[in-house]
Amino acid sequence: MLIVYRRDPSHPKFVVPEAMVRSLLRIHHDEVAHCGAKKTFYGLSANYWFKSMRRRIKRYIENCVTCIMSNVSSNTNEGELQHIMVVVDSFTRFTWLFVVKSTTTKFLEKHSKTYFFLSIHFYFST
């Protein structure tokens, strides 16, 4: 049984049964090009109609894992992350870590000269 929805008599639309809505969304979104909600809506609404169409398309795309992974914002806040300058003694392999404000060459050169590294060994005898 095929039901046709006619709002505009010159262009009929097929009414999609509830059981087929998810597969139709998958075909028009996942298998095409992972378009946004607006393009997916216009593509589907040209030939199909189902209840709460715009809202369901939006919800489907908001939960699409591929879209979530590819639309990650590049200007995310890094939180409390800081740069660390690592200094390694070439003889003893002893390592010092210093939190620094910048990683520019000029900054690191200046601050690597301000630290005086002296390896002191204490020997205790009893």
Report the CATH number at residue 29. Answer: 1.10.340.70
- Residue 123's pLDDT is 60
Cα torsion at 106, 108, 114, 119 (round to 10°)? -150
Query: Ranked by mean pLDDT, which of 26-30, 56-60, 80-84, 121-125 comes out on top?
Result: 56-60
Range of the domain at 12: 5-73
Per-residue pLDDT at 113 exceeds 80: no
What are the tens digits of pLDDT across the range 57-94? 999 998 888 888 887 665 556 566 678 888 787 788 88
The reported pTM is: 0.53
Residues 69 and 102 in one domain: no
